[in-house]
Structure 1
């Protein structure tokens, strides 16, 4: 008898604990009612909808007149409001700014729930992500790259700046590659450092570019590339089957007959010599390149903010601080010789042609020392002839594809992670309304401005 009582007691306790666990994992529910959804998957808006969030996921999306919210813990009536997916900036550099934690907080409260960092010390990103996941720090989730480059890039001070404790070119996230390199080992070590993709930067020839891209993909990593990886051209990167080409300015080198060997040589000498005024963005050379990109599903990230006269002076300023304080001082000094206004105009024209020829466009700012906003990049994309909703898609679903997380992020769909931005005005009608943020939800958690 006592044995039966013990079994019954244990059964009751087990059932009770299971019930508590079930309550704990399902109690966090919010209904956002009577809102308009910006549907970036179907390029449309859905009026008078209700979104139910359970924990960190979108549980259901229904018309408000049929949605059952009786069991939901919290209901927020958002009549007259608009919801877009959490914004993603596909090109940031958080390693430079010393106030990066404050920047991350500002980004999140502006509606940016995810960023892709394109060069720095993986140890720092691991630490930041840990603080964000533990709730110590408010900020977007950070996905980051390992930079790979050829021997001539070792002269660049950035290879030392992000390599503390390692010989330049030997850190898993800042790696020299040559024809004799063990690419499998290099890629695996990068993956163990937590990177999502490799970024090929400079001084990598076409044959090696193709090999490293293949090894990265075989090991489940994305392959991200500058548009020109001197001496490799944009078409060499496309032929190597990279996933993303970054920077509109580098696209002009597709017509270059004599490519420089390295990024720094190009910045100092070759970029200032390019004819940004008279080179036609609709030249057959570029159209052929875009057709290849479209057929291979390669994404183009123009980083218009990097050259827009709205966000930088037309003349670069020299700086007197030391190289250790400013590892990009040599780039700023090289910028004195550049016709930034013509480069800005070219960037817009080549982006327009890429879009017209069916290339998927991503939205990245390329900010480093000073914060830039992907909302501005979205607006710049519309100035290239991209529709408002497709520009929003560039900063959401297309950027999720850039990172490789579009199965769970980037659009408002049942089952996806609840990263949402509530706006007071319709961004489809007026793209500036992308700034009218009222609420942000990241992983189902509410952040109110």
Structure 2
């Protein structure tokens, strides 16, 4: 090292291990899907939760800062299990998104493949506290060579050749998968994302090598020509986009990502559960596969469509999304809450809140189970349930304090007053003041 510079400031870092905080009088929704726990105390030591118990049973903690939460509700830190922070890279926008997330109660996100040169640094910066934001768990992508003329692959590989970099690899039957997986691991990725134009045998080989090297595999629900059943049977940890699962019932062979077979929307609009999808959901249950449904994405896609044909297609996909997500829930499949889009920068809340509302109102999932999806199942989607996802002793001190009951109305998650992430407080009022000041300066 050439000098003794102490490095960049870390104003948003977690508290020291010896710092103590006590949150008393909360009504706790602990993330398990169980009933609310009134009059609950949470004791935080540094970054972790030391104790959770009834107010009357948790003694005073000498030297602790005490926060009285009478009348307020606490949920675990929310998790968006499908984000893209750097396609294309835009550091200022990414930092703005991350800031809004953490001040809205989101304490972790799953980034589903981007330019990992930037995402890796954003993950470091939020982890050490240089910038405010959730913890970031991210994926390095693998796909067949035909995928790499997609313009997004160039956006995330600027200065290099798409398909030849560790975070964005083209693989074939001739690829040395042990080396390819090791290169992906070298980006500090949590997982490999299996995307497109791969046969089922190669998806299975990637998953097997990833397991051998101790890294997760996240995949699209259909990889083309690999169908949903093959993807699940390969043993991937999570699949994304519920509407891709419809191809398990395709009447034509799956060929390539760009040449998907048509969907018989009328068949799925008739009501009732589809038997072939039911068998797929049973396989997902047996394999422990998490469904990253991105259920309300097509509502946003309809808003973004440029013509009537695009809007009509988005409406059809939206109806399909609601029905298949509801069927997956009834089958017992664990559903996480991913978005795959984001609200405009000037919007006060992230898109995740729209996903949660959609799951309740369009898919008929009870609010307490949607909160579980946004917390514990989100942690499961990235293999982090041992450290986060519920409010319990030994886990990270990640939770949100709300003014109103989200079980009475899921939109009450927007009544956020404070986020605690790794023990550090992020006051919503501070963010709101900054947001309002920015709006006035730009107005």
TM-based fold match above 0.5: yes
Match of 1:380 in 2: 358
Match of 2:393 in 1: 414
**Aligned with residue 65 of structure 1, among 17, 37, 56:** 56
**Aligned with residue 259 of structure 1, among 246, 253, 260:** 253
Cα deviation for residue 368 of structure 1 reads 5.8
Aligned counterparts, 1:238-257, within 5 A: 238-257=232-251
CA RMSD of aligned residues (A): 1.9
Aligned counterparts, 1:114-193, within 5 A: 114-193=108-187
Write out the 4+ residue segments of structure 1 that deviate beyond 4 Å after TM superposition.
368-372
Cα deviation for residue 340 of structure 1 reads 1.3
SS at match of 1:113: strand
Give the TM-score, by structure 1 length: 0.86
Match of 2:302 in 1: 313
**Aligned with residue 91 of structure 1, among 64, 67, 82:** 82
Aligned counterparts, 1:13-412, within 5 A: 26-41=17-32, 43-96=34-87, 98=90, 99-266=93-260, 270=261, 273-279=262-268, 282-308=273-299, 311-313=300-302, 316-317=305-306, 336=310, 339-367=313-341, 370=344, 372-383=350-361, 384-412=363-391
> d(CA) in 2 for partners of 1:67 and 1:419?
20
Cα deviation for residue 257 of structure 1 reads 3.2
SS at match of 1:259: coil
> d(CA) in 2 for partners of 1:83 and 1:56?
17
Gaps of 5+ in 1: 1-23, 319-332
Summarize the Cα distance change of 1:54–1:314 in structure 2 as closer, same or farther, 3 Å threshold.
Answer: closer
Give the TM-score, by structure 2 length: 0.87
Count of residues in correspondence between the two structures: 404
Cα deviation for residue 365 of structure 1 reads 0.4
Whether contact under 8 Å (1:409, 1:416) holds in the other structure is yes
Whether contact under 8 Å (1:27, 1:73) holds in the other structure is no
Is 2:411 the partner of 1:441? Answer: no
Summarize the Cα distance change of 1:314–1:109 in structure 2 as closer, same or farther, 3 Å threshold.
Answer: closer
SS at match of 2:196: coil
SS at match of 2:53: strand
SS at match of 1:145: strand
Summarize the Cα distance change of 1:183–1:426 in structure 2 as closer, same or farther, 3 Å threshold.
Answer: same
Cα deviation for residue 375 of structure 1 reads 1.8
Whether contact under 8 Å (2:296, 2:318) holds in the other structure is no
Match of 2:437 in 1: none
Cα deviation for residue 315 of structure 1 reads 7.0
> d(CA) in 2 for partners of 1:190 and 1:119?
11
Whether contact under 8 Å (1:36, 1:48) holds in the other structure is yes
SS at match of 1:408: coil
239-248 or 335-344: bigger deviation:
335-344
> d(CA) in 2 for partners of 1:222 and 1:287?
25
Whether contact under 8 Å (2:232, 2:284) holds in the other structure is yes
Gaps of 5+ in 2: 1-14, 429-443
